Chains A and B, each alone.
Chain A
Amino acid sequence: DSGVTQTPKHLITATGQRVTLRCSPRSGDLSVYWYQQSLDQGLQFLIHYYNGEERAKGNILERFSAQQFPDLHSELNLSSLELGDSALYFCASGRQEDEQFFGPGTRLTVL
């Protein structure tokens, strides 16, 4: 158990819909990272938040957004969903320059 929690574990929705994925980092970790793992691609970095502020953006679509709240939990919002958004979404937390610890992931299926 990494100490990082993600909800929900599974999510099934339809194209065009909007969903929110939630992540609670390990106690004491100020950084939250979001990654996407599609079937045909490895783990791709989406976005990094540190203590409530966005620090870096990767290959994140404009339809996707994220935020980190004062209690340090983070949410990833995915809107206007397409079939190709079906993937595993992982949250990781860590200290600024340390190992990242991953949550169990949320499996999103868009039908």
Chain B
Amino acid sequence: DQQVKQNSPSLSVQEGRISILNCDYTNSMFDYFLWYKKYPAEGPTFLISISSIKDKNEDGRFTVFLNKSAKHLSLHIVPSQPGDSAVYFCAASARTSGSRLTFGEGTQLTVNP
């Protein structure tokens, strides 16, 4: 039962353009959402998060949007840079059940110079 899904295994974008990574979830108990970036041979690095009481959170070039009615969130990276090339994981937690993270399968983002 895949409760968090990232339906695009890969995304290729030109440097300077916008990257949009998508994530869907099924568990309505999830109330906290996070995005992580992962390079090969390294652990996931926290990027940005959003609570279910908000619909948008910005941090520099990164913005996360949450649509609770659609059970959908997205990560926007503007402008995209070659150093952003990595695997991006969406994760969700239900704080009432202990903050364990449920991860999506990941999306490989490639930003071409």
Chain A residues near B (Cβ < 8 Å) = 2, 4, 6, 31, 33, 35, 42-45, 48, 55-56, 58, 90, 92, 94, 96-97, 99-105
Which listed residue, A45, A48, A55, A102, touches B45 by the CB 8 Å rule?
A: A102
Given contacts A42-B105, A42-B106, A99-B49, contact A104 B43 (CB under 8 A): yes
Cβ distance A5 to chain B, nearest Cβ, rounded Å: 11
Cβ distance B109 to chain A, nearest Cβ, rounded Å: 16
Bound: A2/B89 CA distance, A = 17
Q: Among residues 43 to 72 in chain B, which have CB atoms less than 8 Å away from a CB atom of chain A?
A: 43-46, 49
Chain B interface size, under 10 / 10 to 19 / 20 to 34 / 35 or more:
20 to 34
Contact B43 A105 (CB under 8 A): yes
Cβ distance A89 to chain B, nearest Cβ, rounded Å: 10
Q: What residues on B are CB-neighbors of A99 within 8 Å? A: 34, 46, 49
Contact B44 A31 (CB under 8 A): no
Given contacts A43-B89, A55-B98, A56-B98, contact A102 B103 (CB under 8 A): no
Q: What residues on A are CB-neighbors of B78 within 8 Å? A: none
- Give the residue name and chain of the B residue nearest to A95 (CB): B99
